[in-house]
Amino acid sequence: MLLLVLTAGITGSSYACTCIGKDKQTTESEFSSSKLVVKGKIIASTDYLYYDTLITLFTGIPFDRATSGYMIRQYKIYTLVVESRFKSDKGLADTLRIVTGYGNGDCGYEFETGKDYIVYANAWTEKKLIIKQRKKKIKKKIREEPVTNWFYTDICRLTQESNQLELDKIKNL
């Protein structure tokens, strides 16, 4: 029974994007819930495959690229040159990586190279395996850690092409 449930969860890979509450978002609420708010220019894009292979350590399922598609997540990475910082940590680089989905149901934001955007985002995290050993007992734990100067946004955020109205709202906060 457990195997059947696990298999059903693995094969169900069709998702649709739903931005519940987006119609109630304000610049103020989005600003406060974001780790990063900047204005900048997109200068490049590339595909990014994130291999979530840590699941194999806990399930015993061998990782095989041909058959383990459920462990591979596809993203787009955009390179953004920061022109204005409204909210960010100290030491933020002038060039950032903005990660988002591909679109078509995964909530990915479709940036265009050469255009200026106001980006609301949070830190991009990747899973790290932490192994602790005490005497004869080994404890495995997965921890998500932020990747330096990488951020995630999607269409459910207020990320948008740069415009004076939104810039004025940010400056008035």
Has residue 5 got a pLDDT over 60?
Answer: no
Q: Which of 57-66, 67-76, 80-89 has the highest mean pLDDT?
A: 80-89
Has residue 68 got a pLDDT over 90?
Answer: no
Single pTM value for the model: 0.80
Q: What is the pLDDT of residue 44?
A: 98
Burial zone of 118 (CB within 10 Å; 0-12 exposed, 13-18 middle, 19+ buried): buried
Backbone angles phi, psi at 7, to 5 degrees: -65, -40
Q: Are strands 137-152 and 95-100 parallel, antiparallel or unpaired?
A: parallel
Mean model confidence pLDDT for the chain: 84
Greater pLDDT, 22 or 1: 22
Structural domains in the chain, sorted by start:
18-171 (2.40.50.120)
Has residue 6 got a pLDDT over 80?
Answer: no
How far apart CA 5 and CA 9 sit, in angstroms, is: 6
Greater pLDDT, 7 or 135: 135
The per-residue b/e assignment along 88-116, b for 16 or more CB within 10 angstroms, e otherwise, is: beeeeeeebbbbbbeeeebbbbebeeeee
Q: What is the pLDDT of residue 21?
A: 79
Q: What is the DSSP letter of 94?
A: S
Beta bridge partners of 20: none
Has residue 8 got a pLDDT over 70?
Answer: no
Q: What is the pLDDT of residue 105?
A: 81
Q: What is the pLDDT of residue 173?
A: 94
How far apart CA 56 and CA 143 sit, in angstroms, is: 15
Of the pLDDT bands very low, low, confident and very high (cuts 50, 70, 90), residue 80 is: very high
Has residue 4 got a pLDDT over 80?
Answer: no
Summarize pLDDT for 43-64 with one digit per residue, the tens: 999 999 887 666 665 666 665 6
pLDDT > 70 fraction of the chain, expressed in percent and rounded: 80
Summarize pLDDT for 137-163 with one digit per residue, the tens: 888 777 889 999 999 999 999 999 999
